[in-house]
Structure 1
Amino acid sequence: MPHSRPPLRRLSLAGTLALALPLLGGCAATQAPLPAALSVARQQAAIPFTAATANRIAGSDDYRLDWAADHAGTVRVYAGTSPDGVTTGTPVALGPASGSAVVTGLEPGRRWYFTLVPDNGAPLVIADRALHLPTAPNLRDIGGYRTTDGRWVKMGLIYRSDQLDRLSDADLAAMGALGLSAVADLRTATERARGADRLPRGAAPLVLDVVADSEGSLGGDMRKADAAIAAGKGVEMLIEANREFVSLPSARSAYAALLRRLEQAPPTATLYHCTAGKDRTGWATAVILTLLGVPRETVMADYLLSNAYLRAKNEATQAALAKAGTPIPPAYLEQVLTVRPDYLQSAFDEVERRHGSFDAYLRDGLGLTEADIAALRRLYLAGEAVD
């Protein structure tokens, strides 16, 4: 199917000003010189963007794009429906090295990818990470992040989500367009029995029970969990749970199996999820992004995004429990419905305590070889390392 590339209908001020650059002599003369150590070939293979985002504007089908690139004069933007990107045809936006644009007129109901093409260096494909599915609000792409060495995590290949048993038919159809070949379920047997996944055609189920070996509150014993929450011990419960994501044999087995699946998956996509898509799924994402070289502060920021994506769902849960007359104070419920930096940090601390380093955790805890790690980086990173 050909990619739709409608003409730009509206640009930001930065994009509009950029259209006049060729008439004014452009900015090529003011570009900073590239480091001498980089060969010409490597310069062209490196992605010059240091920041780039695409976000659908609330209440519309328009998109706001923002980017910043080093050693570039102008940036052309193309739109398409494939994560492979589009670099020909009519651009939907044009701007300077650091710019923004509002793109309108794209066909609704599609997932749009935007290829940022600099006049110096390799292009970058970005998209709105959110899928905007009402019945799976925490379903999102983990790509589109820059690594410490200047590469970028590819989009359209790895997705994280909350529960899939409540998917509407429309949202299930939208999932079907993602090209998923596998969906890894990180939930317990009790959770799976209570709500079986709805999966799109072609997506094979993969059961990876992270806390199967747990004797704690998240091991399937809801009485323990309810007692901890009612006592206001939700923070302690989730800190301990995150430690178990590192220490439990079932957790190590589950996360190792997920990484092995990812090593075999491309060019098809993989999705993994738990119930809220924030704790077991949160650590899975932290492991993948850290392995790929995404800085810790970015990993933490992605983790905390669950609070925004789950806000409406959590408010509905609080309202339903209040209506049912639950005696648990809302503040106690909030401890377990949301994520906090301390939760994820406790998992990283457990890695250091048990293994000494994250690299040792990958090797000794998850059984990954240097070849496995190199393969995952080759499959899921775009661009040439610049450091």
Structure 2
Amino acid sequence: MKHKLIKSLGLFGVLLALAGVSGPTASAATTAAVASTAKQTVAKATKTSLLVDGSKQEDLKKTLVAMHNTQNTRDLGGYQTADGKWQIKPYQLLRSDNLSTLDTDDIKTLTDKYRVKSIVDFRTPGQVADKPDKNIPGASETYISILGPHAFSDGGGDGDFYNQRLDFGYPAVTGYRQFLKMLATTNGATLYHCSSGKDRTGIATVLIMTILGMDKQTIVNDFMLSQYTGRTVKIDWISKYYYDVEKNYGSLQNYITTSLEISPATQARLRAKYLVSTDGKETPYPAPYVPSRPNPTPVVPSQPTPDPKPTPEPQPVENGAADKGVKPKKKATKVKIVKTKKLHTKYVYHLKAHKKWFKDAHLKHAHGYTAKHSHKKWRLLKSEKVKIKGKMKTYYQVRDHSGHTAWILKSYVTK
């Protein structure tokens, strides 16, 4: 139990736990020695993961959009890829804080100069209701709550917040997935924002710039520019994000492909859509190759084709016998969800090994996943009574600590 508690607290929790090991009878020298060892351990563990803040206040002017009532609206246009050959198109991707206090001139800037056609709001439903965006004429509004139903520690910005909510939190994974896929298909400029434009919006920008090919230092510098707009951001927050992602997935690029499920083809479309050359010609980035089907060669008859013989009408089948060579159509399996119930349980459950589980509530088991890692702990989210071929069955939706969910038969779940 103690080991799990220390692990959940992260690096700073290790420092606190180790510093509190000594009992009332321990000497001051022993306590000091333990604390010193803990500090060395933390310093050694974070030395390789802590990034460097290379941002400068004058760099903010290159990206900042002049607005009266927002302080953190920026154009990603001009950022170059790691090889220096390509750059993000201007007037296409805007990151911002909330748009609840825009005035007439601000709205005119977004509509006339930047021609924004899509607004993506990462705030929670409560935050949206409290400070709704001003309407941008001609732009659609999409709401994707990256933190789920409630904000909780939103804006705190500590390392645990980034670990628990912005990289492995289920709403963040599904929300950023929806957002990135949306960027690949929308037309016109897109503005995406949260409350202050630094945490949820900052990580969204990290993901976009990673896909488009910017190097890590350039991405980190953009993240840190929010500090020059009156916001609090710290280098160890983004360091913690990279550290946790790379520890679990090897690289942020692999995290985007596997956890967020942004396919290489979708990433290629994003690069083709938002990148142009840096040689002054603004040559579009090469579009992904899509093999085309060859047109069939028309057949020209050498002589007139005789009229086809009339097809005889089908004769009725006697004694219920089927025609040879004709297979009867299989009836579709009838699946009906009868009842859904949310569960609020404090208990932790295990999944029995080698049992099938499903990705969606409608049991479309296109993937025959098996719960191989039954030692993982899962929490119950909801149950559904499902009628399959006339038989009633109960399925549980379960979620692990990383936010992954699964549907599995009730009988395959143990407390």
Give the shorter-chain TM-score range.
0.5 to 0.7
Provide the C-alpha distance between the structure 2 equivalents of 1:209 and 1:286, rounded to a whole number of angstroms: 17
Does the residue aligned with 1:366 lie in a helix, a strand or coil? coil
For 1:132, give the aligned amino acid.
A
Report the equivalent of 1:140.
74
- Pick aligned residue for 1:207 from 139, 143, 157: 143
Please state if 1:340 is matched with 2:275.
Answer: no
Does the residue aligned with 2:184 lie in a helix, a strand or coil? helix
Please state if 1:158 is matched with 2:52.
Answer: no
Provide the C-alpha distance between the structure 2 equivalents of 1:182 and 1:191, rounded to a whole number of angstroms: 19
Compute the displacement of 1:363 (Å): 1.4
Compute the displacement of 1:238 (Å): 2.5
Report the equivalent of 2:244.
350
Report the equivalent of 1:332.
none
For 1:259, give the aligned amino acid.
L
Q: 1:56 to 1:292 in 2, by over 3 A?
A: closer
Q: 1:346 to 1:163 in 2, by over 3 A?
A: same
For 2:90, give the aligned amino acid.
M
Report the equivalent of 1:259.
180
Report the equivalent of 1:381.
275
CA contact (8 A) 2:145 2:175 kept: yes
Please list every run of 5 or more consecutive structure 1 residues that lacks an aligned counterpart in the other structure.
Answer: 1-54, 59-127, 219-224, 226-233, 312-336
Compute the displacement of 1:134 (Å): 2.0
Q: 1:197 to 1:259 in 2, by over 3 A?
A: same
Compute the displacement of 1:378 (Å): 1.1
Q: How does 1:1-387 map to 2 (within 5 A)?
A: 128-150=62-84, 151-177=86-112, 178-212=114-148, 216-218=152-154, 234=156, 238-243=158-163, 244-266=165-187, 268-308=188-228, 310-311=229-230, 337-383=231-277
In terms of Rg, which structure is larger? Answer: 2
Compute the displacement of 1:129 (Å): 2.1
Compute the displacement of 1:137 (Å): 1.4
Aligned residues: 219
Does the residue aligned with 1:264 lie in a helix, a strand or coil? coil
Provide the C-alpha distance between the structure 1 equivalents of 2:253 and 2:65, rounded to a whole number of angstroms: 32
CA contact (8 A) 1:141 1:160 kept: yes
Structure 1, residues 45-68: CA drift from partner, whole Å, max 9, x if none? xxxxxxxxxx9999xxxxxxxxxx
Q: 1:157 to 1:164 in 2, by over 3 A?
A: same
Structure 1, residues 124-173: CA drift from partner, whole Å, max 9, x if none? xxxx4221102011111012111112211111110000010111122112
For 1:339, give the aligned amino acid.
V
Provide the C-alpha distance between the structure 2 equivalents of 1:143 and 1:171, rounded to a whole number of angstroms: 19
Structure 1, residues 34-88: CA drift from partner, whole Å, max 9, x if none? xxxxxxxxxxxxxxxxxxxxx9999xxxxxxxxxxxxxxxxxxxxxxxxxxxxxx
Report the equivalent of 1:95.
none
Alpha-carbon RMSD: 2.3
TM-score (norm 1): 0.53
TM-score (norm 2): 0.50
Report the equivalent of 2:17.
none
Provide the C-alpha distance between the structure 1 equivalents of 2:252 and 2:60, rounded to a whole number of angstroms: 37
Of structures 1 and 2, the one with the larger relative CO (CA 8 A, separation 6+) is 1
Does the residue aligned with 2:142 lie in a helix, a strand or coil? strand
Provide the C-alpha distance between the structure 2 equivalents of 1:159 and 1:297, rounded to a whole number of angstroms: 20
TM superposition outliers: structure 1 runs of 4+ over 4 Å: 55-58, 213-216
Provide the C-alpha distance between the structure 1 equivalents of 2:150 and 2:161, rounded to a whole number of angstroms: 9
Compute the displacement of 1:216 (Å): 4.8
For 1:380, give the aligned amino acid.
Y
Q: 1:213 to 1:56 in 2, by over 3 A?
A: closer
Provide the C-alpha distance between the structure 1 equivalents of 2:151 and 2:200, rounded to a whole number of angstroms: 16
